């Protein structure tokens, strides 16, 4: 993803907060933020509010102790928001570290002239470890096999963080293997910079699994504290950062919350995050049709009465999930309309009844008036997948709304 277009403008109208939007949903017509005027030639676009990114980081920061650092997790093109502008906003808002999943994502940031500390969270091959050194990236030791690679290349490896598997059974070293490995790494002069684990159930506050994971992490924690006292300990993701101070340690790794969404609906009552992305498209055709007219593939939708079908230039190739067809809603002229029939690759259709809708009208697919969580529910998935799924052909338009 390139740097996109950066626009500075004032917020267009309402001062609605996320909670207000929940209430607003029950009203018939709502007033979302107007999209920026600079998008008049676009068929679909994702507006990304960098001020919201900054405010969300500050909102999380307020929950942390002064000494606790914040890693902005910017893998997958910053959850679809566009990585370089998001990193700049996050760093300016006091994120100390950046987290990426792959070597390529880290290198892309260095090429984008981002000089902040970057941790690659995923595992690497021997060749990739050498590239990480060349680009000044910190790496995670994600398996015993990778530990052996690092030991073989000791002297030419970047700073390492030990990733510990305490219950995800995805990546990491077993906690009981950490003390011996630490001895071998330090004996060979490998710079050990951190030690971390990933929580599996922190999105459900007080889940017993979180406590169990912290207990399993303890041998690793004690070993590293004894051998490398300056190493950074980090455990919490967004959910942990928002709700579980005992998981904060020296740093929290924050992804979803920075993008303004809550890891679970119960957390929405915390109330100070603002969704940074709004996905918009345009009505490209309206058709007045009679009752019984079939709409979209499979003719699965039939109009009940005379009505207007509006075609919107956004489909599953743009990241709007096909599964949201029939259930989902889009916002046109401040009013929600139900998707009629199946979502196509490049288009979806909505039944707007007798409401006045014209070709050229802007439709909001998600953002402030319709949340990514709602779209996720329609598509039987989670908001993470909706954000990451926004297609490459959808330009990201950067704005800086500066809402108080
Ligand atoms: C290791 C690790 N830490 C932190 C995060 C950020 O998680 P969240 O977006 O829930 O804050 C992720 C994301 O999946 C991750 O894999």
Q: What's the gap in Å between 155 CA and the centre of ligand 1?
A: 30
Question: How would DSSP label each residue in 171-235?
Answer: S-B-GGGHHHHHHHHHHTT--EEEEEE--SSTTSTT-HHHHHHHHHHHHHHHHHHHH-TTPEEE-
Residue 251, H or E segment: strand 251-254
Q: What is the pLDDT of residue 269?
A: 79
Instruction: List ligand 1's pocket residues with C-beta within 6 A.
Output: 73, 121, 198, 237-239, 253-257, 263
> From CA 50, how far away is CA 279, in angstroms rounded?
15
Q: What is the dihedral of CA 21, 25, 31, 33, to 10 degrees?
A: 50
Per the annotation, the verdict on 75 as an active-site residue is: yes
Contact 129, 171 (CB under 8 A): no
Tell me the Cα Rg of the chain.
23
In tens digits, the chain (404 residues) has pLDDT values of 444 555 544 443 333 333 232 233 333 344 566 776 667 889 999 999 999 999 999 999 999 999 999 999 999 999 999 999 999 999 999 999 999 999 999 999 999 999 999 999 999 999 999 999 999 999 999 999 999 999 999 999 999 999 999 999 999 999 999 999 999 999 999 999 999 999 999 999 889 999 999 999 999 999 999 999 999 999 999 999 999 999 999 999 999 999 999 999 889 877 799 999 999 999 999 999 999 999 999 999 999 999 999 999 999 999 999 999 989 999 999 999 999 999 999 999 999 999 999 999 999 999 999 999 999 999 999 999 999 999 999 999 999 984 43
In degrees rounded to 5, what are phi and psi of residue 253? -110, 110
- Token reading at 285: 């055709």
- Ordered domains of the chain (ranges, CATH): 5-41+276-400 (2.40.37.10), 50-265 (3.20.20.10)
CA distances from 92 to 86, 116, 168, 183, 399 (A): 10, 11, 32, 37, 15
Catalytic entry in 8, 75, 196, 262: 75
Give the nearest ligand 1 atom to 259 CA: 9
Nearest CA to ligand 1 atom 5: 237
Q: What is the pLDDT of residue 23?
A: 30
Q: What is the pLDDT of residue 25?
A: 30
Q: What's the gap in Å between 393 CA and the centre of ligand 1?
A: 25
Q: What's the gap in Å between 258 CA and the centre of ligand 1?
A: 11
Residue ranges for the binding site for substrate? 170, 345
CA distances from 126 to 102, 141, 150, 306 (A): 14, 12, 8, 65
Give the nearest ligand 1 atom to 75 CA: 13
Q: What is the pLDDT of residue 32?
A: 65
CA distances from 175 to 149, 186, 260 (A): 19, 17, 33
Contacts of residue 382, defined as CB under 8 A and 6 or more positions apart, other chains included, come to 376
Per the annotation, the verdict on 384 as an active-site residue is: no
Q: What is the pLDDT of residue 404?
A: 30
């Amino acid at each position: 993803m390139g740097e996109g277009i950066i626009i500075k403008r004032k917020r267009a109208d309402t001062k609605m907060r996320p909670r207000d939007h929940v209430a607003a949903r029950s009203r018939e017509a709502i007033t979302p933020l107007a999209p920026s005027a600079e998008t008049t030639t676009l068929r679909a676009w994702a507006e990304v509010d960098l001020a919201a990114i900054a405010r969300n980081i500050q909102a999380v920061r307020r929950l942390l102790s002064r000494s606790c650092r914040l890693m902005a997790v910017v893998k997958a093109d910053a959850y679809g928001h566009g990585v370089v502008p998001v990193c700049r906003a996050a760093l300016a808002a006091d994120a100390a570290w950046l987290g990426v999943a792959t070597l390529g994502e880290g290198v892309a940031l260095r090429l984008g002239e981002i000089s902040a500390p970057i941790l690659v969270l995923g595992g690497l091959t021997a060749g990739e470890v050498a590239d990480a050194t060349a680009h000044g990236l910190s790496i995670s030791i994600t398996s015993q096999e990778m530990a052996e690679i690092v030991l073989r290349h000791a002297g030419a490896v970047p700073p390492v963080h030990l990733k510990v598997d305490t219950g995800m059974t995805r990546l990491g070293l077993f906690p009981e293997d950490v003390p011996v490995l630490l001895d071998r790494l330090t004996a060979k002069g490998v710079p050990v910079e951190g030690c971390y684990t990933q929580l599996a159930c922190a999105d459900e506050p007080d889940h017993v699994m979180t406590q169990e994971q912290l207990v399993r992490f303890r041998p690793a924690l004690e070993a590293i504290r004894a051998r490398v006292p300056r190493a950074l300990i980090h455990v919490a993701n967004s959910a942990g950062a928002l709700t579980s101070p005992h998981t904060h340690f020296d740093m929290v790794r924050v992804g979803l919350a920075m993008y303004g969404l809550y890891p679970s609906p119960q957390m929405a009552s915390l109330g100070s995050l603002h969704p940074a992305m709004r996905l918009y498209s345009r009505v490209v055709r309206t058709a007045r049709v009679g009752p019984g007219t079939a709409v979209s593939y499979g003719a699965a939708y039939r109009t009940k009465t005379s009505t207007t079908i509006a075609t919107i230039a956004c489909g599953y190739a743009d990241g709007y999930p096909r599964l949201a067809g029939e259930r989902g809603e889009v916002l046109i002229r401040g009013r929600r309309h139900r998707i009629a029939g199946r979502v196509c690759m490049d288009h979806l259709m909505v039944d707007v009844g007798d409401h006045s809708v014209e070709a050229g009208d802007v439709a909001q697919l998600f953002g402030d008036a319709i949340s990514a969580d709602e779209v996720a529910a329609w598509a039987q998935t989670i908001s993470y997948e909706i954000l990451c799924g926004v297609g490459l052909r959808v330009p990201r338009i950067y704005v800086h709304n500066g809402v108080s």
